[in-house]
Each structure stands twice: as C-alpha cells, then as structure tokens.
C-alpha cells in the first residue's frame, strides 16, 4: 500500500517564485520579452545564489514576462496542479503587486488571473486557496500605503497582507501605519522576519505590526526571550528549509535550526517559499528534513498538523484537515508495522 504524501497547508509560497523556467520561456515567447536564454535548463543553471539579494535580482527580472490576465492564470494554475501532487489541501499564497505595477500591469489584471486560477483549483483540484498581498520592504512605507489603497477595490480577493523582499536595512518599524490600516480593514497580517535580519526584526514584527505569523523567523533561535514569547503565544513560523540552504541563511541543511525550534515547542510549519528557484515544492522540503533529521512519522504528523493549525482557515475546516492527518499517520503506521 502506498499512502502517498502528507496532507498539508502551504502558508509560505510566493506565486511569482513558482514560475518554472519552462513556463518562463513560454511566456517570454508569448509576450516578446527577451531572456538571457530560451533553454529552460540553461536558465535554471543561472540560479546560483549567495544571499537573498542575489536571488531577488533574478526573481524580479524574470517577472517582466508576466503581462496579461492569462499569464497570471497560467502561473497560478501551474502552482496549484503541482501543489495538489505535493499533498497541499490549503494554500495561503503571497503575491507582489508592486513588482507588476512597476512593470505597467494594472492590479485588475493580476487579481483577475490569480483569482480565476484559485477558483479553478478549488473546484477541480480540491485545494482551498487564498491570496496574501505582500509589500516590498525596499520600496518603503509610503509606497506600501499607496499599494494598499489601490487594492481596496479588490478586498474580497485577498485575505491578508505580508512583507517581503530585502530584509536588512528595511525593518518592520517602517510599515507600522500600513499594517495598522490593514488591521482596520479586517485583513490578516504576516511578515518575513528573521530570515537574514536578526531577532530584533522578529520582535518588531510582533510588537509593531501585530503579525499573526512570522515568515522564516529562523534567527529567533538566537534570542531565548523571543523563543519564549513565540512558544507562549504559539505564533507560527513558516520555515522554508531548501530556501534557507539556497540563500545561505544556513550553511547546510544539517545546521538548520529546525530541530531546535521544534524542541523549544514552537509552532513550526514547513513551506517551499520560491520552489522554482530553490529546488523543491513543499513535499520536497518535507522529505528533505525527514531525511536529514531522521524525523519519525509522529514528528512528520506534527509538522503536517502545525500547518493547518497555523492557517487562517475556520476552526471546523481545521478539524477536518487535522482528522485527515491522523488518518494518514494511521495508514503509515499500519504500513510499517
């Protein structure tokens, strides 16, 4: 019997980071956008990163191929099809509207394509999915406020706001006003913090932005007081192990703080971040940590359960997914007993 993949929620994935080089080439040809190569393998060869910025430079440049509603639909649906294979039952998906606005693409085009893909995913792939609008921290607080105002006509098409892009030098304190406004609009709030920035960035995200989850957050392990706060409040961390290795936030997977974060009792979840760039989707990330740290089925079930607990789903839906995790665990234990 093959019990397949763990049912999981993916809570940290940038839809722009799911642009595989095959689709990149298709869209470049469709829209007459020049690329350094039209060979998907050769393009992937260029993905050798030394830090977050070295990744962001290529990631933003590639997004010039996204021009039409159809392009955003194709991007969204391709992720959902792959995510379904990875066991994803719930996806809370980041997107970066400021990048597309800078490329001359109206918000209506971005929302139109992505929302249509999510509807298709819900109806035909059985994945519950919603969007989280991310502000680019390198563009500052005033630009973030402008973006939120521009997105108000689309409030029914996203459930929260996030904060991504270059971390160091752009602390959460720059974004207090826009996060307060998002809260007043009834939106969920999350932020990347503690990926390259220190534990002080995680403190700020909690204290000044009121975030409900921390994206990455791995450097929290350096600050025992912060670890205690995250544990006491059960603030989820959306940890992306293959991303952390690729961007050298950790020297090796074996040196990753995941086991220490779990041992400290934190609500740790696993996600893929930018799977087209970092060598794997959420199933690959789960398999990598299972193998590297010798996690047993009970520990894997904890990661799967945490993902649903940390999601923004209603409690009744969380319970339904948690029951599916238990069922998967039982099937697995029967198989290996």
**Residues at the site binding Zn ion, with contacts judged by CB under 5 A:** 273
Q: Is 37 helix (H, G, I), strand (E, B) or coil?
A: coil
Please give the Cα distance from 159 to 187 (Å, whole number): 6
Residue that is written with structure tokens 């392990």 in the block: 221
Residue 164 in the binding site for ligand HPA (CB under 6 A): yes
**Residue selected from 100, 188, 192, 203 as contacting ligand HPA according to rule CB under 6 A:** 192
Residue nearest to ligand HPA (CB): 164
Q: Minimum distance between the CB of residue 41 and ligand HPA, rounded to whole angstroms?
A: 23
Please give the Cα distance from 237 to 275 (Å, whole number): 18
SS3 content of the chain, % helix, strand, coil (to 5): 60, 15, 25
Residue nearest to Zn ion (CB): 273
Q: Minimum distance between the CB of residue 192 and Zn ion, rounded to whole angstroms?
A: 6
For the segment 267-286, give every residue that binds ligand HPA (CB under 6 A): 273-274
Please give the Cα distance from 177 to 144 (Å, whole number): 9
Residue 52 in the binding site for ligand HPA (CB under 6 A): yes
* DSSP codes, 83-98: HHHTTEEEEEEEE-HH
* 195 a catalytic residue: yes
Check 16, 92, 195, 204 and give the catalytic one.
195
**Residue selected from 18, 238, 243, 269 as contacting ligand HPA according to rule CB under 6 A:** 243
Please give the Cα distance from 326 to 291 (Å, whole number): 21
Residue 213 in the binding site for ligand HPA (CB under 6 A): no
What value, to the nearest 5°, has the Cα angle with vertex 23 and ends 19 and 24? 70
Please give the Cα distance from 93 to 16 (Å, whole number): 10
Q: Minimum distance between the CB of residue 243 and ligand HPA, rounded to whole angstroms?
A: 6
Where does this chain bind ligand HPA (CB under 6 A)? 14, 17, 52, 164-165, 192, 195, 243, 273-274
Catalytic sites, residue numbers: 195
């Amino acid at each position: 019997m093959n019990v397949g993949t763990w049912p999981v929620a993916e809570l940290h994935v940038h839809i722009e980071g799911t642009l595989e080089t095959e689709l990149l080439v298709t869209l470049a040809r469709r829209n007459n956008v020049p690329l350094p190569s039209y060979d998907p393998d050769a393009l992937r060869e260029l993905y050798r990163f030394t830090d977050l910025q070295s990744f962001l430079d290529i990631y933003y440049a590639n997004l010039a191929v996204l021009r039409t509603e159809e392009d955003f639909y194709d991007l969204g649906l391709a992720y959902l099809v792959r995510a379904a294979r990875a066991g994803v039952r719930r996806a809370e998906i980041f997107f970066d509207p400021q990048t597309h606005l800078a490329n001359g693409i109206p918000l209506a085009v971005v929302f139109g394509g992505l929302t249509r893909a999510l509807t298709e995913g819900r109806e035909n792939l059985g994945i519950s999915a919603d969007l989280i609008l991310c502000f680019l921290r390198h563009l500052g607080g005033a630009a973030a406020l402008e973006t939120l105002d521009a997105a108000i006509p689309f409030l029914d098409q996203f459930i929260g706001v996030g904060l991504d892009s270059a971390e160091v030098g752009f602390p959460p304190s720059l974004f207090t006003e826009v996060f307060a406004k998002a809260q007043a609009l009834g939106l969920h709030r999350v932020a990347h913090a503690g990926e390259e920035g220190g534990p002080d960035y995680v403190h700020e995200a909690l204290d000044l932005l009121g975030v409900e989850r921390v994206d990455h957050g791995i450097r929290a392990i350096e600050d025992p007081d912060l670890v205690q706060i995250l544990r006491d409040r059960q603030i989820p961390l959306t940890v992306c192990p293959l991303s952390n290795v690729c961007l050298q936030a950790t020297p090796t997977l074996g040196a990753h703080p995941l086991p220490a974060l779990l041992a400290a009792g934190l609500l740790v979840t696993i996600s893929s971040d930018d799977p087209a760039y970092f060598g794997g989707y959420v199933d690959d990330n789960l398999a990598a940590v299972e193998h590297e740290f010798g996690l047993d089925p009970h520990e894997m079930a904890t990661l799967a359960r945490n993902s649903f607990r940390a999601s923004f789903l209603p409690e009744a839906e969380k319970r339904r997914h948690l029951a599916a995790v238990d069922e998967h665990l039982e099937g697995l234990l029967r198989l290996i007993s």
